[in-house]
Amino acid sequence: MKSISKIIIGAAIAGGTVFSACSDWTESEAFKVNETNIEDQNPELYAEYLANLREYRNTDHKLVYAWFDNSVKQSYSRANHLTDIPDSIDVVSLMYPDKLVKSEAAEIEQIRGEKGMKVIFNIDFEAIKSTYDAMVEDATEEEPVTIDFHQYLTDTLSYSLSLVKKYNYDGICIDYQGQVSIYMTEEEKKEYKENENNFINVINDWKERNPEKLLAFHGRPENLVDGSFILDKCSAIFISSEEAVSVNELSYIFNESCLDSYAAKYGALADVENDGLTLQSFAEWAAMQHSGNDLVAVGVYNLSTDYHASGRNYENVREMISILNPSVK
pLDDT, mean of residues 24-48: 59
The CATH 3.20.20.80 portion of the chain extends over 61-324
C-alpha distance across the termini of the chain, in Å: 19
The answer to whether 17 and 33 are in contact (CB under 8 A) is yes
pLDDT averaged over every residue in the chain: 88
pLDDT tens digits, residue range 211-252?
A: 999 999 999 999 999 999 999 999 999 999 999 999 999 999
For residue 91, list its beta bridge partners. Answer: 65, 118
pLDDT tens digits, residue range 61-84?
A: 999 999 999 999 887 788 999 999
Helix (H, G, I), strand (E, B) or coil at 79: helix
Ramachandran region, residue 259 (left: φ > 0; alpha: ψ -120 to 50; beta: rest) = beta
pLDDT, mean of residues 89-94: 98
Alpha-carbon gap, residue 111 to 118, rounded angstroms: 8
Alpha-carbon gap, residue 11 to 4, rounded angstroms: 10
pTM across the whole model:
0.86
Integer-rounded Cα Rg, in Å, for the chain is 21
Closest alpha carbon to 64 in 310, 245, 319: 319
Helix (H, G, I), strand (E, B) or coil at 282: helix
One-letter-per-residue 3-state SS of 99-149: CCCHHHHHHHHHHHHHHCCEEEEEEEHHHHHHHHHHHHHHCCCCCCCCCCH
Question: Class of 61-324 per CATH?
Answer: alpha beta
Give the pLDDT confidence score for residue 31 in this predicted structure: 36
71 by Cβ neighbours in 10 Å (0-12 / 13-18 / 19+) ranks as exposed
More confident residue, 71 or 32: 71
pLDDT tens digits, residue range 152-201?
A: 999 999 999 999 999 999 999 999 999 998 889 999 999 999 999 999 99
Strand segments, DSSP code E, in the chain are 63-68, 91-94, 118-124, 171-176, 214-219, 236-239, 266-271, 297-301
Closest alpha carbon to 8 in 25, 23, 94: 25
Inform me whether the pLDDT recorded for 8 exceeds 90.
no
For residue 171, list its beta bridge partners. Answer: 120, 214
251: Cα separation from own chain's centroid:
20
